[in-house]
Amino acid sequence: MLKQRGHDADCFITGEEPEFEKTVQDWQPDVVGVYSTTGQETWALEHVLAWRKELPHLKVVMGGPHASFDAEILREGEYVDAIVKAEAEHAIIDLVEAWAAGRPINLIPNIGFLDNGEPVQNLIRPAVQDLDSLPFPDVDLFYKYPFLRKKRVMQVHASRGCQNSCTYCSVGLMKEEWVSGKGDKFNRTKSVDYLCEEMNDIVARYPGFRMVNFGDAALNMQRGWLEEFADKWPKQVGMPFACNININFLNEEDIINLKRAGCVSVQFGLESGNEDVRLRVYKKGYTDKIVYSIPKLLRKHNISFRTNNIMGSPAETLDDMYQTVRQNREIKPAGCTVLIYRPFRSSALGREDFEVGRVELGKDIGPSIHSDSQMRRDDLDEVINLQRLFNIAVFVPGGLPLVKQLVRMPRNPLFDGVGLGFLWYQHAVVSGFGMLDDIKLGVKNLSQIFGRKSGGTHEYGRTRLIDTMDVGTDATI
Ligand code: SF4
């Protein structure tokens, strides 16, 4: 969007730039943009402070889910000059051009700023309704780095939004705050023709990719779309793919269309084996009947599937989490991603956690959702141990009784290692690097993991390897 308006734009990845700070500084930016999710909002602080010394005119803007739901970051005045709430395509142009012209920014929709020491969040404009009206994502910014363009699996998005509004996820509040109620849609899909054209544009320049991983919340967002996609994708692009699905909106016809289009693997969030927690607390919409029936249909049509699972939410006892293990054992996924519950301020359940005092406020758990929990609970060590050993409990014969005994032990590096081993395997497969290349990537990034002195409120120097391997909900294949 910025380039279309004649501005220069670039992207720098810390782990890929031997001298990250200097490289950015030498590029002489007028504005730096920082993406943020909760827990990862302060990593750039030390860099920004260094750049400000050399580039006195520098402005810093933060976007992403954290900034969209918590304007408090603006109080760190020397760090962030403005935030953007919700989708930033048009807001960033208005903001950058106002700064360039020396105009005030306080009337720009979506923008948040500090006024007399208090954060102010402007109203937001309607979300972009026609995704085809946007330019193709500027993948060259990322694929200039060999480690990204050498991946065999490409990340692409076909849509924005989600049919569900799970209470542990930001989507529910986004739906409340990002649409006006005057007919604008939150769930939007690119046209199939646009998507195929976008893909072919990428593949023409980066022919090494062998597979696509759709990062959308669910590729089955629109039934008619999926049918057209199945007709056109194999002819126009013809690349196998993996994707996320919402199984409460999936029927056999959709599965047939997914297969026809070239889908080899899907992922869905099982999250809890306790139906009551899944339906009543998480508002996930997946009944046990759906959880047991969809895997059978997927298997019938030869599509493999993986599950996402949450450990340690305030809604669950340890027994509920063992039920999640049992349900996975019954439906037999190809793999399980197991994340530790985090109380996001951008989610309904997270807000409730803060309101009723379920969160250990002073506890810094770092950026990862694989590492530790901020929740107050007496069985915390058992929960963390179960997250580490979950895949053993699911996939090893007799694994559950064994794991039930093991989780009583104190947390220890061996369990961390087991968790890391499964993460490594997952990341290697999902990223498309392969196991060996993934090890090389990890080794290359060791200085990122152990070498940094500080990342704002998080002491990165103490971050363990497991903290950094965050495949999250992108883990699909
Ligand atoms: S967790 Fe997944 S299914 Fe639920 S609202 Fe968020 S994106 Fe949608």
Distance CA 127, CA 185 (A): 8
Do 218 and 292 fall within a single domain? yes
Per-residue pLDDT of the chain (477 residues; tens, 9 = 90+): 999 999 999 999 887 888 999 999 999 999 999 998 877 788 888 999 999 999 999 999 999 988 998 899 998 778 999 999 999 999 999 999 999 999 999 999 999 999 999 999 999 998 999 999 999 999 999 999 988 888 788 999 999 999 999 999 999 999 988 887 777 899 999 999 999 999 999 999 999 898 999 999 999 998 899 999 999 999 999 999 999 999 999 999 999 999 999 999 999 999 999 999 999 999 999 999 999 999 999 999 999 999 999 999 999 999 999 999 999 999 999 999 999 999 988 899 999 999 999 999 888 787 777 888 999 999 999 999 999 999 999 999 999 999 999 999 999 999 988 988 888 887 776 666 666 776 776 666 665 554 444 333 333 334 444 444 444 333 333
Position in ligand 1 atom list of the atom nearest CA 162: 8
Structure confidence at residue 362 (pLDDT): 82
Position in ligand 1 atom list of the atom nearest CA 165: 5
Position in ligand 1 atom list of the atom nearest CA 163: 8
CA of 395 to the centre of ligand 1 (A): 26
CB 220 near ligand 1, within 6 Å: no
Do 192 and 334 fall within a single domain? yes
Do 345 and 419 fall within a single domain? yes
The reply to whether 94 falls in a domain is yes
CATH number assigned to the domain comprising residue 144? 3.20.20.70
For 17, list phi and psi in degrees, rounded to 5. Answer: -105, 115
**What type of residue is 51?**
W
Residue pair 350/333 in contact by the 8 Å Cβ criterion: no
The reply to whether 477 falls in a domain is no
Do 176 and 272 fall within a single domain? yes
Structure confidence at residue 61 (pLDDT): 97
The reply to whether 476 falls in a domain is no
CATH number assigned to the domain comprising residue 7? 3.40.50
Structure confidence at residue 222 (pLDDT): 87
Token pair listed for 395: 């996939």
CB 346 near ligand 1, within 6 Å: no
The reply to whether 473 falls in a domain is no
Domain boundary among 68, 86, 121: 121
User: Taken in order 82, 91, 96, 19, is the CA torsion positive or negative?
Assistant: positive
Do 116 and 139 fall within a single domain? no
The reply to whether 475 falls in a domain is no
Do 160 and 258 fall within a single domain? yes
CB 162 near ligand 1, within 6 Å: yes
The reply to whether 211 falls in a domain is yes
Do 17 and 59 fall within a single domain? yes
Do 186 and 270 fall within a single domain? yes
Structure confidence at residue 307 (pLDDT): 96
CB 347 near ligand 1, within 6 Å: no
Q: What is the pTM of this model?
A: 0.89
Do 88 and 142 fall within a single domain? no
Do 327 and 178 fall within a single domain? yes
Distance CA 78, CA 409 (A): 45
CA of 171 to the centre of ligand 1 (A): 6
Domain boundary among 121, 144, 167: 121
Structure confidence at residue 452 (pLDDT): 45
Task: Report the residue among 159, 162, 250, 473 best suited for mutation to probe ligand 1: largest number of ligand atoms under 8 A from its CB.
Answer: 162
Structural domain that includes position 344: 131-468
Structure confidence at residue 447 (pLDDT): 55
CA of 172 to the centre of ligand 1 (A): 8
Do 324 and 382 fall within a single domain? yes
The reply to whether 177 falls in a domain is yes
CA of 245 to the centre of ligand 1 (A): 10
Do 61 and 152 fall within a single domain? no
Domain boundary among 121, 149, 172: 121
The reply to whether 67 falls in a domain is yes
Residue pair 136/194 in contact by the 8 Å Cβ criterion: no
Q: What is the tally of structural domains in the chain?
A: 2
Q: What secondary structure, in 3-state letters, does the chain show?
A: CCHHHCCCCCCCCHHHCCCHHHHHHHHCCCEEEEECCCCCCCCCHHHHHHHHHHCCCCEEEEECHHHHHCHHHHHCCCCCCEEECCCCHHHHHHHHHHHHHCCCCCCCCCEEEEECCEEEECCCCCCCCCHHHCCCCCCHHHHCCHHHHCCCEEEECCEECCCCCCCCCCHHHHHHHHCCCCCCCCCEECCHHHHHHHHHHHHHHCCCCCEEEECCCCCCCCHHHHHHHHHHHHHHCCCCEEEECCHHHCCHHHHHHHHHHCEEEEEEEEECCCHHHHHHHCCCCCCHHHHHHHHHHHHHCCCEEEEEEEECCCCCCHHHHHHHHHHHHHHCCCEEEEEECCCCCCCHHHHHHHHHCCECCCCCCCCCCCCCCCECCCCHHHHHHHHHHHHHHHHCCCHHHHHHHHCCCCCCHHHHHHHHHHHHHHHHHHHCCCHHHHHHHHHHCHHHHHCCCCECCECHHHCCHHHHCCCHHHCCC
